[in-house]
Structure 1
Amino acid sequence: MDWLWKFPSMDEDMLRALKKSVDEGFRAFTRGYGSGIENLFSPLQSFLIWAERLMTGMPWPLVIALIGAIAWLATRSWRIVVGCIVTLLLIGYFDMWDDTMKTVSMIFVCTVLSIAIGIPIGIAMSRSDRLQKIINPILDVMQTMPSFVYLIPVVMLLGIGRVPGVIAVVIYALPPMIRLTNLGIRMVDRDVLEAADAFGSSSWQKLRNVQLPLALPTIMAGINQTIMMALAMVVIASMIGVQGLGQPVLKAIANQYFTLGVFNGLAIVGIAIIFDRISQAYGLRLQKHREVVHG
């Protein structure tokens, strides 16, 4: 009756041999193609270095003025603008400015990549139910897989550094962008699409002039979620060499520095609130504009 209590499993020697063969195969792949794959990502590394130098090289008053201007243009709310400026001033006052700018540059690069990859995939999914059925399980795996697991193959292929960290962050943060782009386009009113067809619009014209503008509030919600998920990966990405606010938090965990961890953690929260309020308010403005147009 032992079989009722012990779940039947593969023979231990066979399981060990299977794991060993898979590991050796992946190691052989990284030895054979790792340098070629690394060269493939050299433009991404250049983009990362440029963004980091831009953010850390600009004078702090200019950065605060720029972020304040973006907040005003996106939200038209003085409360949010003042909140952004005060948050940034506090971050600088507590000597976390450089690390914060490095984190902002990484989030910027990750968001640009997620938009560039996610929107075309979301558009393709919205046009094909079959493709949606294929991609949805992949997105489920990407969202539920523990984020540490992403680091293993990426580090084996590309080593330690900024690029592997950004790739791991993009993998983790990409699904909301794809899902909400797909959802936003599918939610466009059929009557509007029929009117576009009646005017003789081509498929591309319908997408560019009708579907994407009407889906923009939902796509903005996807961008918001992507930014939040990217920020959630800051500390984990610091384990493989990504500079920014995550590294002091990691140092605080390793050495039990309570205040160092709390201060940098609060800086991450502050940046997250700034991004969240700006993107959410802009999405709501787009939503209200759409309601007025169709009202």
Structure 2
Amino acid sequence: MKVMLVNPYFPRYRGNDAFPLGIGYIAGALLKSGFDVSVLDCHILKIQEDEMISHILKERPDVIGFTVMTPTFEALKRIVAKLRERSDALIIGGGPHATFRPDELLSSGFDIAVRGEGERTVVELVEKLEKHENLESIRGISFISNKKIVHTQERELEKNLDLIPFPARRLFPYKKYKIMSLVTSRGCPYTCVYCAATKFWKGFVRFRTPQNVLDELEEIKALGFDKIRFEDSTFTINHQHVKGICKEMIERGLDFRWSCETRQDTINKELFELMIRAG
């Protein structure tokens, strides 16, 4: 079964530094499970609707998976409608809008909405689809059955983030990204009104081990990057975690220029000085 993962073009953001970690992680999980997977980052390639559809039809995938953000949802409704006219592929949506508004996706032509953390969910989903098995046992999805919307049980968050395969960056045109992104944790305890992270990750914060993070950084360095961005919701929320990463970066001699997301009340002089030493 051939799977194609698509990150839609987002014209409001004009930078070349937004690596789509969501489909990167899903691609990595599918590859590890032995599936045939390709990716299309329309944003970095500046591919808009009609050209996107042409690319997808040329690949002839059995399953098409879209990252669905609220700002791109209206465009995706048009794209899905056009694909329906020319392709029999199963169309899946994942990401924030799919998690919080699955009914909207299903009423707009999507076959399945993947809610929340998607790596295990998508692997199980493709396995079931290959075997033509019932989907109701898969946690964390929504779909239509007998003209009714079915929401399966919530998927539990992965307790050990080190078990999740790294994003499949080599499937992407990685040389086009000026900066490479990664995350060392998932979740945020804060409740900022403009951010969905706390609700998406159910209020929990989980951390990868420094060794696992540095192994991914070694891969990123091997791709030729010297600039990275830690995309954690609040990178410095756990000082021991950050210290472990910074010390490993120094010990391994990984020379990156890097940035992160943080808050003034989660950092102090000692930590800041160590972060500077690490890049």
TM-score bin (small chain): under 0.3
Q: Which has the higher helix share?
A: 1
State the TM-score, normalized to the length of structure 2: 0.26
The structure whose Rg is larger is 1
The normalised TM-score by structure 1 is 0.25
Structure (1 or 2) with the greater strand fraction: 2
